[in-house]
Amino acid sequence: MSKKEIADTEIMHFDLAVPDDVGVQEEAEATAVTRKRRARFLRRRSRKEHAYPKDRTIAWPVVIAATGAMALASALVVMMGAFSMLNYGVTIAMVGLPENAQQATRIGSTPAAGEKKQRSSDAPTAVEVQEILQSMLDPKAKDHAVAVGLEGGEAAVPTVREVGKVLDKYNLVYKWRVTEGSVAVSGETMNATLTLTLVGMGSKEQPVSFIREHGQWKLSNASVCELAEMAQTTCAVSTAK
């Protein structure tokens, strides 16, 4: 017997005739009680049916579509964050540059012939500078090991850590490298250029500078703060000289 048939049977039980030997007044009272009981039962059944609908089938196409939309939204957030980083890098790279240098930083463009800096004989290679920066951004590196490669020392470590976290977060769509042939030394200063690439969107350039202290190259406070601005995080060191 189905639930509905059982429920209907119970309702029928409420409607049983009152015995003949009961008086008219008592019969009326019994009928009123029966109606109240029936009404309460119907309300209870209605609430149960409303709370537990018969058709509880999961609409999997809707669920899958919703899941896909969430994944797409997450991907867009990552892409927009990385694109914002690229834009910040572009703005910083173009400040103070002549017009022809700014044109060379447009998406998909490369420096014109003769514009690339010549590497000094005593300058590290692009690969060596890349290794220096990667060691600083390595989350497993000890703070004191990172500090020795920074002009700001220990004070600059938290900023570099934050930059590293952002780069790691967007590493699937956002790439960087030291541009080959861009490293040049002038006295106690070394300049290099980072190529920042947003996969599928193009590349921009970001200059970085190092200063030599006690025979060791250290990333300047100015570059630390520029990278922090690119990563949209705060800079904990001063760039004032």
List of domains in the chain: 126-231 (3.10.450)
* Average pLDDT of the residues in 106-132: 61
Burial class from Cβ neighbours inside 10 Å (0-12, 13-18, 19+) for residue 14 reads middle
Query: Are 204 and 90 a contacting pair, CB within 8 Å?
Result: yes
Burial class from Cβ neighbours inside 10 Å (0-12, 13-18, 19+) for residue 50 reads exposed
pLDDT grade for 23, boundaries at 50, 70 and 90? low
Q: Kindly tell me if the per-residue pLDDT of 61 is higher than 90.
A: no
Q: Which residue has the higher pLDDT, 97 or 57?
A: 57
Residue 64 has what pLDDT? 44
Distance from C-alpha of 183 to C-alpha of 116, rounded to nearest angstrom: 10
* Average pLDDT of the residues in 32-52: 71
Global confidence as pTM: 0.54
Residue 6 has what pLDDT? 52
Query: Are 132 and 223 a contacting pair, CB within 8 Å?
Result: no
Residue 84 has what pLDDT? 55
